Amino acid sequence: MRVLVADKFPEKQLDKLRKRGHDVRYEPDLDVSTLPNAMADSEILVVRSTEVSKEALELADELGLVVRAGAGTNTIDVDTASARGVYVANIPGKNAVAVAELTLGLILALDRRIPDNVAELRGERWRKSEFSKAKGLMGRRLGLIGLGSIGTEVATRARAFGMKVRSLERDRQDEEDDVVADLGIDLVPDLESLLPECDFVSLHVPSTAETRGMVDREFLALMSDGSCLVNTSRADVVVAQDLLEALDEKSMWAALDVFPDEPEVGEADYRSGLAQHPRVYGTHHIGASTEQAQEAIAKQVVKAIDGYCEGDVRNVVNLAETMSHTTVIGIRHVDRVGVLSQVFSILRAADINVEQMENHVFAGARAAKAVMHVQGDFDDTVRKEIAGLEAVFDVAVLRDTD
């Protein structure tokens, strides 16, 4: 396969892809404007932060898979990929520890004002009396917005510092409930119950229609005076102007790893009201940027490409969920050429569409069973016509439309 890696990627994992026989092009300096022409003949694209636009996807006729070497896919035009039948896969969870470590580092920095300490010493000033006013983290209250893999890693580390961790009640799997219970996280029903009681609020949510702009004037008004906001998730979760106002009006502090209108390149001039605010501590969108995290993610990218080449695409984010109104049918048949082609001809004539299908071949490769999710009027007449084919043993309706 022709693989384009359009972001920084460990050389060791690039070599693994080459040893698998792939034609790998490594161009980590591509950006949203140069990517379209570069990926025109690519079959697989790997990106981290590089934006994948509609134009890029429409120019890549042979593209079948985009792998985001990380969790979020907001920099990829997923709608266009879906319309063109291109898989978009992500690598969730592998950078959770790295982001959690930075989050706790920022919380410590806020409490001890570490950046200001460093700046004063570099400016040849000794101000022990000013910087000896930290409250400490033991017993302080941390509110987590988002309790996925990153949120729980943050909670684990915060509990080790003796902090009291709170979050929101949500529907969760049983194993997730067990993690919440084991960590001693106190769950409350809504933001009104959470925010006023927290000394620190840390954001760990993806960028979605529901979360974009969620930290607005109303959200910030619920936070207590002098409290601290930490954002290591996505910049567009926070309304920047509203946060700037709250910093001054409520004597709040903030620690941010993400900023609006960040430069797309590694080195650039950057002016930002938030980044230059005296009560904001900032880092350069480095939450996932540890060698440990990048190596772990890269290994999973290679596995994702392996799976794609074997017909088993993992962590796909743009597949439609099986429609509740589809009929599921099972067809036991002789395993030979042309049998399923005959079945499809009958379904086509009846204006029935196959939405999803798996064909399981039994030991000895003499018989197989096709399980199909179909849309349309699959009545007894159609069933009998398929069952009447010479190479079909049986047709069963496994789940009816109703």
Does any domain span residue 317?
no
Does any domain span residue 314?
no
Q: Which among 275, 309, 343 is the end of a domain?
A: 309
Residues 122 and 224 in one domain: yes
**pTM for this entry:** 0.76
Does any domain span residue 64?
yes
Residues 247 and 112 in one domain: yes
22 catalytically annotated: no
Residues 83 and 103 in one domain: no
Q: Among 245, 262, 355, 385, which one carries the catalytic annotation?
A: 262
Residues 303 and 360 in one domain: no
Gap between the Cα atoms of 73 and 88, Å rounded: 8
Residues 130 and 275 in one domain: yes
Q: What is the pLDDT of residues 116-137, one digit of tens each?
A: 999 999 999 999 999 999 999 9
234 catalytically annotated: yes
In 190-284 the beta strands, taken as DSSP E runs, fall at: 200-203, 228-231, 253-256, 280-282
Q: What is the pLDDT of residues 32-63, one digit of tens each?
A: 999 999 998 999 999 998 999 999 999 999 99
Residue 124 sits in a domain whose CATH number is 3.40.50.720
Per-residue pLDDT, 401: 63
Residues 305 and 336 in one domain: no
Residue 322 has pLDDT above 80, yes or no: no
Q: Among 157, 279, 285, 383, which one carries the catalytic annotation?
A: 285
Per-residue pLDDT, 323: 64
43 catalytically annotated: no
Residue 254 has pLDDT above 80, yes or no: yes
Residues 282 and 300 in one domain: no
Residues 188 and 103 in one domain: yes
Residues 12 and 48 in one domain: yes
Question: How high is the mean pLDDT of the chain?
Answer: 93
Q: How far is CA 39 from each of CA 27, 30, 228, 301, rounded to the nearest angstrom?
A: 10, 10, 43, 18
Does any domain span residue 224?
yes
Residue 324 has pLDDT above 70, yes or no: no
pLDDT band at residue 245 using 50, 70 and 90 as cut-offs: very high
Residues 350 and 300 in one domain: no
DSSP category for residue 314: -
**Number of structural domains in the chain:** 3
Q: What is the pLDDT of residues 165-174, one digit of tens each?
A: 999 998 887 7
User: Which has more confidence, 394 or 171?
Assistant: 394
Q: Among 68, 166, 234, 373, which one carries the catalytic annotation?
A: 234
Residues 104 and 36 in one domain: no
Owning domain of residue 75: 2-92+292-309
Q: Residue 366 — φ and ψ, nearest 5°?
A: -105, -25
Residues 258 and 226 in one domain: yes
DSSP category for residue 316: B
